[in-house]
Amino acid sequence: MNKLSTVIDTEGAEAALAALDAVVKKYINMIVDGCDCSLCESYRERVEKARAALANMTSDAVIFSDVEKTAAEVAEEIAAEETTEAHGNGFRVNAAAVINTFTVSEAEDMAQIREQLYDAPLFCSLSARDIYKKRAPIMYHLTNGAEVLEAMAVSVSDYFTRFRRQLEIALNDLYHETTYADWMELIRFWRNDSIIRRGILENKIAPEVMEAFSIRSPKFSKHLIKTFGEKSEIVKLFNDRPKAADIEKQTAEVVEGKKVIVSNLASNVMKMTAGNDFSSCQDYTYDDISDLGYLQKLPSAVHDETMSIAYLVDESDSYEHPYMLARVLISPLEYNGNLFYIGFNLYGNNGNAEVLKSSLKNLYGERFLFADDMYNTENMHEWEYSYDYKLRVDFEYEEYCYLCEGSGEVTATVRYHDYEFECECPHCEGKGRECGEYGDYPYVNNASFVRYGYYRKTTYADKKVLDAILTAEAYGGNDLFSFEAEA
């Protein structure tokens, strides 16, 4: 080998080195620490392959012509893999939306479940160990590898909707300051969407409207200031209005004072039903035996390692004893090596469910689907998850007999003779207590997209929808609600 060819070959080798180095970095970033899901396995394999090729190239023993061949081969192989795996993009978390992550030990998680069980008289025979299951590795893609991830609460809305919402608040403030007749006149004007719409868009009120409401200036702004005052929030919002064409454009805004928690804690999954801002049929604090028909599904939900939870709370709240303002359960779904999640059983009042939804879209993009927005088609993709344990958690209950109230005896009356006597309780046969056994699979509102069997769970989504999301990603991945944090 002469000197000249060595120089040329070294340049080629440097380019190949840089390409392989980029491959290593790319896939290392996509691996979730400690995760042994199939996605992470495939990323790890790619990193190993590129690293092996790198080691090969930097080894002195290798002849340069061989190096170039190896580099070309490796590049080709990686390109081929990218094609078979659709677009090679794993599930991603929008770093700009993340506030914090927390690592929580199993012991802490179990201790919290035990604490919650004190409020669950019907689950008295369940120990935390029976109910507890650590979440599966695949769920840790949601939380950057930690148990808990906190993210910004984001509200997605258009200006017109926000304006009307603020207008409602302004009107409520005026309610106490006006007579009933004046109030009726006010809402007749200000709750008229077409008037407001034309007023905001064109800053002009139609002559016939002016006449009907005895308005002097055709300028909407003047009428707004006259009614609500120059320093009112509604006037400030009006002054910040976008261009007419953007009045109905959807934009994301941070919701101050609230945050979203995504949690792989079994104790948080258990908390989904009780002591929150909304009520759920599976509230474990119920103590009426007749509620067991619903409650029997909750232990299995807590036990399901592929069920995580996301919820909206006040900013000052924590994952330890959250007061949930809204919540959604989460199950995974893989499609051609691409990871998706389905949010189901969404609860929350006063727009909180909507805030939770848009916050998760902002955090995860289109890879996070909501069962509420999905349709059952003839083109469904099925993904199956197998448990190596029995998902269904059975539990026993024991209560004082309702008839004899625990004494085992009842007083019977012989009619017409007005004669009473004590006898063995016919309901409990003198035992004074009654026992039963319960257990079922987790409760699912949107049963078409998440289903349970004996040792498995199946999640479903329309292939066309999944393909469309992957295609959009390939063309720049402009997520609808992508949001950049302000510095």
Closest separation in Å from C-beta 401 to Zn ion? 3
93 binds Zn ion (CB under 5 A): no
Q: Total number of residues binding Zn ion (CB under 5 A)?
A: 11
Closest separation in Å from C-beta 36 to Zn ion? 7
- Decide whether 152 or 425 has the Cβ nearer to Zn ion: 425
- Decide whether 88 or 199 has the Cβ nearer to Zn ion: 88
Only one of the segments 13-21, 225-233, 310-318, 395-403 lies at the binding site for Zn ion (rule: CB under 5 A); that segment is: 395-403
- Decide whether 63 or 412 has the Cβ nearer to Zn ion: 412
DSSP string, 208-240: HHHHHTT---S-HHHHHHHHH-TTSHHHHHHHT
Interacting residue with Zn ion among 13, 37, 224, 301 (CB under 5 A): 37
Instruction: Confirm if 142 and 90 have CB atoms less than 8 A apart.
Output: no
Interacting residue with Zn ion among 371, 425, 461, 470 (CB under 5 A): 425
Task: Report the Cα 277 to chain-centroid distance in Å.
Answer: 17
- Decide whether 35 or 307 has the Cβ nearer to Zn ion: 35
Closest separation in Å from C-beta 46 to Zn ion? 13
E strand spans, 270-429:
308-314, 326-335, 338-348, 368-370, 380-386, 395-400, 409-414, 419-424
Interacting residue with Zn ion among 53, 146, 302, 401 (CB under 5 A): 401
Only one of the segments 21-29, 60-68, 234-242, 404-412 lies at the binding site for Zn ion (rule: CB under 5 A); that segment is: 404-412
Q: Which amino acid would we find at residue 70?
A: T
The residues facing 154 across adjacent strands are 254
- Decide whether 148 or 410 has the Cβ nearer to Zn ion: 410
Closest separation in Å from C-beta 433 to Zn ion? 8
Residues 261-320 close enough to bind Zn ion by CB under 5 A: none
461 binds Zn ion (CB under 5 A): no
Secondary structure element (H or E) that encloses residue 261, with its range: strand 250-263
- Decide whether 135 or 297 has the Cβ nearer to Zn ion: 135
Closest separation in Å from C-beta 386 to Zn ion? 17
Q: Which of 170, 174, 163 is closest to 239 using CA atoms?
A: 163
428 binds Zn ion (CB under 5 A): yes
x/- string (CB under 5 A) for Zn ion, residues 364-383?
--------------------
Closest separation in Å from C-beta 334 to Zn ion? 10
Residue with tokens 């319960």: 438
CA 57, CA 354: separation in Å to the nearest integer?
A: 53
- Decide whether 39 or 128 has the Cβ nearer to Zn ion: 39
35 binds Zn ion (CB under 5 A): yes
Closest separation in Å from C-beta 90 to Zn ion? 8
- Decide whether 228 or 340 has the Cβ nearer to Zn ion: 340
Closest separation in Å from C-beta 469 to Zn ion? 19
Interacting residue with Zn ion among 404, 461, 466, 469 (CB under 5 A): 404
Closest separation in Å from C-beta 421 to Zn ion? 16
155: three-class secondary structure by DSSP: strand
> What is the DSSP secondary structure assignment for residue 242, as one 8-state letter?
-
Closest separation in Å from C-beta 431 to Zn ion? 7
451 binds Zn ion (CB under 5 A): no
427 binds Zn ion (CB under 5 A): yes
The arrangement of strands across the sheet holding 308-314 comes to: 98-102, 148-158, 250-263, 308-314, 326-335, 338-348, 368-370
The residues, any chain, with a CB within 8 Å of residue 412's CB and separated by 6 or more, are 420, 421, 422, 423
Q: Which of 270, 255, 276 is closest to 359 using CA atoms?
A: 255
Q: Which of 471, 463, 456 is closest to 381 using CA atoms?
A: 463
CA 373, CA 355: separation in Å to the nearest integer?
A: 15
Q: Three-state SS string across 435-486, please?
A: EEEECCCCCCCCCCCEEECCCEEEEEEEHHHHHHHHHHHHCCCCCCCCCCCC
403 binds Zn ion (CB under 5 A): yes
- Decide whether 145 or 229 has the Cβ nearer to Zn ion: 145
Both tokens assigned to 213: 């409401």
Phi-psi map region of 395: left, alpha, beta (phi>0 left; psi -120 to 50 alpha): beta
The arrangement of strands across the sheet holding 450-452 comes to: 380-386, 456-462, 450-452
> What is the DSSP secondary structure assignment for residue 393, as one 8-state letter?
P
- Decide whether 26 or 427 has the Cβ nearer to Zn ion: 427
- Decide whether 32 or 302 has the Cβ nearer to Zn ion: 32
Closest separation in Å from C-beta 403 to Zn ion? 5
Binding interface with Zn ion (CB under 5 A): 32, 35, 37, 39-40, 401, 403-404, 425, 427-428
